[in-house]
Amino acid sequence: MYMKVEDLEVYKKLCLLHIEICELSHEWPPEERYELGAQIRRSSNSSPAQLAEKNDDRHIKNNIEGINISRGEAAETVHHLYIAKLKNYIADSVYLSYKERYQECIRMLNGLEKKLEQKLPEKERRWQ
């Protein structure tokens, strides 16, 4: 059954996180506008964008590739948040809250990948 990307809960969560990350990063010092701020805005947007890009692909392996890239971009965003915490741009509690929400999305992406892999021949599956 085909599902629009906008119907995926993980996509919705990642889009909302991106909006929040944009707002958060605009509060950082001006010198970070083209450094850490730009990096975190790109990675936080790329995570849901990868799902959107690969969702309409007819090949399951390409859908799975989009999920893998999305997961990597989510992890990169958590890294940027950690650096922001180290630079004292955000409080520990803010970092931990975003980290938890991104980890939830990563678990959801893992589940989506496992579900899609069930459509592949058993020998091609990474998740057994």
Q: Which tokens belong to 9? A: 């809960």
Q: Specify the pLDDT at position 1.
A: 45
- Between the alpha carbon of residue 42 and those of residues 46, 72, 125, the distances in Å are 6, 13, 30
Q: Specify the pLDDT at position 10.
A: 97
Q: Specify the pLDDT at position 125.
A: 67
Would you list the domain boundaries of the chain? Answer: 5-120
The CATH fold of domain 5-120: de novo design (two linked rop proteins) (1.20.1440)
Contact between 109 and 67 under an 8 Å Cβ cutoff? The reply is: yes
Each residue's pLDDT tens digit, 100-114? 999 999 999 999 998
Q: Specify the pLDDT at position 84.
A: 97
Q: Could you say which residues of the chain have pLDDT below 70?
A: 1-2, 125, 127-128
Q: Which tokens belong to 19? A: 């909006």
The whole-angstrom separation of Cα 28 and Cα 86 is 13
